[in-house]
């Protein structure tokens, strides 16, 4: 399902943060529900300078 996610890091950031805000209580649950490798999201957004905050449930 990774192919269905935005490839552009800024679009991916927006998409993932929206899903975390509106639908999923954690990154783990988002990835499981969407059948996406969590490492791919973390690496892609990490390369663009973002990191995940479990406390705030978002990348920044």
Q: Can you give the pTM of this predicted structure?
A: 0.91
Model confidence over 21-48: pLDDT tens digits? 999 999 999 999 999 999 999 999 999 9
Q: Are the CB atoms for 2 and 36 separated by under 8 Å?
A: yes
Local structure of 6: helix, strand or coil: coil
Does residue 2 carry a pLDDT above 60? Answer: no
Task: With beta carbons less than 8 A apart as the criterion, state whether 4 and 35 touch.
Answer: no
Q: Residues with Cβ < 8 Å from 13, sequence gap 6 or more?
A: 45, 48, 50, 59
Helix (H, G, I), strand (E, B) or coil at 22: helix
């Amino acid at each position: 399902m990774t192919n269905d996610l935005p490839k552009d890091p800024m679009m991916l950031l927006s998409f993932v943060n929206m899903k975390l805000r509106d639908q999923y209580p954690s990154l783990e649950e988002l990835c499981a529900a969407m059948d996406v490798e969590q490492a791919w999201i973390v690496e892609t957004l990490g390369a663009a300078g973002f990191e995940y905050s479990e406390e705030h449930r978002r990348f920044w």
